[in-house]
Amino acid sequence: MSDVIEPVGDDYPTDENTPPSQKRKPTARGVAIVGVRVVAGTVGLAVAAAAIAAAVFVPIPTVSRAPESITVTPVATAQQLVCPGALLRLGDETGQGATTASAVGSALVEYGASGGTVTSVAVDDDAATEATVGAPRLISSPAGSENDDDVLVAAAQSQLVSGDDFAGLATTDCAGVATETWLVGGSTSVGRTTLVTLVNPSDTVATVSLAVSSENGAVSAPGATGIVVQPHGQRVLSLAGFAPDVASPVVHVVSRGGQIVANLQQSTVRGLEAGGVDIVGAAAAPSTTQIIPGVRVAGSAELATRIGETGFDDLATVVRVFVPGDEATSAEVSVIADDGTPTGDSFSVDLEPGIVDDLPVDGLVDGGYTVRVEADVPVVAGVRVSTVAASAIDPAADPVGGASDLAWLSSSLELGDSDLVTTSAGPNPRLHFYNPGSDAVDVTVTRDDGFDVTLTVEALSSVSLVANGSTTYELSGAEGLFGAVSFAGDGGAAGYSIQPPAVSAGPIEILP
Read off the pTM: 0.82
In the predicted structure, residue 458 carries a pLDDT above the cut 90: yes
CA nearest to 434, candidates 337, 507, 352: 337
Confidence tier at 56 by pLDDT (50, 70, 90): very low
Mean pLDDT value of segment 121-125: 84
CA nearest to 461, candidates 347, 344, 370: 370
Confidence tier at 124 by pLDDT (50, 70, 90): confident
Residue 460 near residue 352, CB atoms below 8 Å: no
Residue 187 near residue 249, CB atoms below 8 Å: yes
So what's the pLDDT on residue 142? 73
Alpha-carbon distance 419 to 478, whole Å?
7
pLDDT by residue (tens digit) across 242-292? 999 999 999 999 999 999 999 999 999 999 899 999 999 999 999 999 999
Mean pLDDT value of segment 12-41: 44
What percentage of the chain carries pLDDT values higher than 70?
A: 76
Alpha-carbon distance 475 to 495, whole Å?
18
User: How do 180-184 and 250-257 pair as beta strands?
Assistant: antiparallel
Q: Which helix (H) or strand (E) holds 318?
A: strand 318-322
Q: Which helix (H) or strand (E) holds 251?
A: strand 250-257
What percentage of the chain carries pLDDT values higher than 90?
A: 65
In the predicted structure, residue 18 carries a pLDDT above the cut 50: no
CA nearest to 302, candidates 209, 377, 395, 215: 395
CA nearest to 383, candidates 285, 325, 509, 296: 296
Average pLDDT, the chain: 84
Question: Dihedral, CA atoms, 248, 348, 180, 279, nearest 10 degrees?
Answer: 50
Q: Which helix (H) or strand (E) holds 273?
A: strand 273-280
So what's the pLDDT on residue 15? 41
So what's the pLDDT on residue 412? 98
The CA angle 244-245-249, to the nearest 5 degrees, is 85
User: How do 492-497 and 441-447 pair as beta strands?
Assistant: unpaired
CA nearest to 274, candidates 122, 166, 374: 166
So what's the pLDDT on residue 68? 57
Listed in sequence order, the residues at least 6 apart from 8 whose beta carbon sits closer than 8 Å to its beta carbon are none
Alpha-carbon distance 448 to 223, whole Å?
46
Find the range with the poorest average confidence among 49-63, 121-135, 177-191, 487-501: 49-63
Which is more confidently placed, 126 or 12?
Answer: 126
In the predicted structure, residue 50 carries a pLDDT above the cut 50: no
The burial of 21, by beta-carbon neighbours within 10 Å (0-12 exposed, 13-18 middle, 19 or more buried), is given as exposed
**What's 346-379 look like in SS3?**
CEEEEECCCCEEEEECCCCCCEEEEEEEEEEEEE
pLDDT by residue (tens digit) across 408-427? 999 999 999 999 999 999 99
Alpha-carbon distance 416 to 433, whole Å?
13
Find the range with the poorest average confidence among 21-25, 153-157, 340-344: 21-25
Mean pLDDT value of segment 313-328: 97
Amino acid at the residue 479: E
Distances (CA, A) of 28 to 31, 37, 38, 130, 508: 5, 14, 15, 117, 83
User: How do 318-322 and 356-360 pair as beta strands?
Assistant: antiparallel
So what's the pLDDT on residue 410? 98
User: How do 318-322 and 79-83 pair as beta strands?
Assistant: unpaired
Residues facing 80 on adjacent strands: 140
Confidence tier at 4 by pLDDT (50, 70, 90): very low
Residue 407 near residue 384, CB atoms below 8 Å: yes
Three-class secondary structure of residue 313 per DSSP:
helix
So what's the pLDDT on residue 66? 53
So what's the pLDDT on residue 151? 86
Alpha-carbon distance 358 to 380, whole Å?
12
